[in-house]
Chains A and B, each alone.
Chain A
Amino acid sequence: DQQVKQNSPSLSVQEGRISILNCDYTNSMFDYFLWYKKYPAEGPTFLISISSIKDKNEDGRFTVFLNKSAKHLSLHIVPSQPGDSAVYFCAASLLSSGDKLTFGTGTRLAVRP
């Protein structure tokens, strides 16, 4: 039972353009969402998060949008840079459950120079 899904296993974007990574979840009780970036053989690096009481959070080139009614969140990277090439995981948690994270399956982003 995959509660957090990233339906696009890969995405290729031209440098300077926008990268949009999508994530869907099934558990409406999730109240905190995070995006992590991961390189092979390394631990995930935290990028940005959003609480369920908000619908948008922005940090530099990264913006996360949350649509609770659709159980959908997305990560926008503008402008995309070659160094952004990595696997991106979305994760969801239920703060009342002790912060256990449920991860999506990941999307591999390739930013072409």
Chain B
Amino acid sequence: GAVVSQHPSRVICKSGTSVKIECRSLDFQATTMFWYRQFPKQSLMLMATSNEGSKATYEQGVEKDKFLINHASLTLSTLTVTSAHPEDSSFYICSARPGFQETQYFGPGTRLLVL
């Protein structure tokens, strides 16, 4: 149990375009999902907390207008990178927490490359 999926696994786009990444909890409901970013050889950095039915909470330094988060249902959160630029190229990972558990389970990640 506690499986989280992400789609796509890898995306290459042109500078200035927008990219949507989906995060789904497959066998549980998640009122809260989290979005992380990992640059090469660095740790995972929390970008935002996605709350079902309400606005996301962004970490300091993360542009909410650039990284749009929508948590439309208890099993789906989406991250849209708007007007992507090469510096947005990174590995984006989502996580979700089942019900009353304290443990977060992570998706497989999405590799974004902006040309």
Binding site for B on A (CB under 8 A): 32, 34, 36, 41-46, 49, 51, 89, 93, 95, 98-106
Q: Are B106 and A106 in contact (CB under 8 A)?
A: no
* Set of chain B residues within 8 Å of A42, measured between Cβ atoms: 108-109
Choice from A44, A49, A95, A100 contacting B106 with Cβ under 8 Å:
A44
- Whether B91 sits at the interface, judged by CB under 8 Å, is yes
Interface assignment of B24: CB less than 8 Å from any CB of chain A? no
Q: Contacts A41-B111, A49-B102, A95-B102: A100 and B34 contacting too (C-beta < 8 A)? A: yes
- Whole-angstrom distance between the alpha carbons of A101 and B111 in the complex? 21
CA distance A45 to B97 in the complex (A): 13
Q: 8 closest Cβ contacts across the A-B interface?
A: A43-B106, A103-B43, A43-B109, A103-B44, A43-B108, A44-B106, A105-B43, A43-B93
Total A-B pairs, Cβ < 8 A: 56
Does B74 make an interface contact (CB < 8 A)? no
Task: Specify which chain B residues have a CB less than 8 angstroms from the CB of A104 in the assembled complex.
Answer: 43
Is the CB–CB distance between B103 and A46 below 8 Å? yes
Residue of A nearest to B4 (CB): A43
In the bound complex, residues from chain A placing their C-beta under 8 Å from that of B42 are: 105
In the complex, which of the residues A43, A49, A103 contacts B103, with contact meaning CB atoms closer than 8 Å? A49
In the assembled complex, B32 has its CB within 8 A of some CB on chain A: yes
- Interface: B78 (CB within 8 A): no
- On whether A41 and B97 interact (CB within 8 A), knowing A89-B44, A99-B104, A103-B44, the answer reads no
State the CA gap A41–B8 with chains docked (Å): 13
B77 beta carbon closer than 8 Å to chain A: no
Interface string of B85-102 (1 = CB under 8 A from A): 000000101010100001
- Whole-angstrom distance between the alpha carbons of A100 and B34 in the complex? 8
A32 touches B102 (CB 8 A): yes
Q: Which residues of A contact B4 (CB under 8 A)?
A: 43
- Residues of A near B28 (CB, < 8 A) are none
Residue contact A44 to B32, C-beta cutoff 8 Å: no
With a cutoff of 8 Å between Cβ atoms, the chain A residues found around residue B93 in the complex are 43-44
Which residues of B are found within 8 Å of A45, using beta-carbon distances?
106
